Amino acid sequence: MPAVTLDEVRLSSASWRRMLEATPVVNEAAQVTPDGPGLAVTVPLQAPPGRAKPLSWLLLARKERTVRLDALGKQVWDLCDGTRTVEGIVDAFAQRHHLTFHESRVSVTEYLKRLVQRGALAVALVEPSDAPEVDASPSEEADPSDPASEPAP
């Protein structure tokens, strides 16, 4: 069976829903500085596992990575406040730039994915058990003979 990359997999509607309900969170170790109309986000890098200390002394490894965001990237970054979901960020971006939700979703989700890969953001997923339960049972009509079902004054 051939290997399949994540980019080749079509997400089911349940996967899209779960991804849109996720909340992007800024890496607490990131240092953010203005960079023209955008931002420079510097994140520390961890040493690769298995690299022995004497070897790391001989090889100069980068200790941090700087990700430069343009003006549009800064807008998306500013929306990642830890309270908005991916869907909320997509909606806000779509409204600001007069795009449809689906046009915005393509750009914003790809951009967020790259920021996560570069260590600038993390994504907090909502577990199915953490999601608020919705009562899907039909509402019952009030029983006129039951005093507990009368509306409060």
Q: How far is it, in rounded angstroms, from Cα 140 to Cα 117?
A: 50
* Stretch 95-112: mean pLDDT: 96
* 116: its two tokens: 């996560």
- Measured distance CA(46)–CA(54) in Å, rounded: 16
Instruction: Yes or no: say if 70 and 37 are a contact pair by the CB < 8 Å rule.
Output: yes
Give CATH for domain 13-47+55-127. 3.90.930.60
Q: Can you tell me whether residue 136 is helix, strand or coil?
A: coil
This prediction's pTM: 0.69
* Per-residue pLDDT reduced to its tens digit, 35-84: 999 999 999 987 666 555 655 555 556 789 999 999 999 999 999 999 99
pLDDT at 134: 46
Q: Which residues pair with 31 in a beta bridge?
A: 42
Judge whether 42 and 14 are in contact, CB under 8 Å.
Answer: no
pLDDT tens, 35-48?
A: 999 999 999 987 66
Residue 98 makes CB contacts below 8 A (sequence gap 6+) with: none
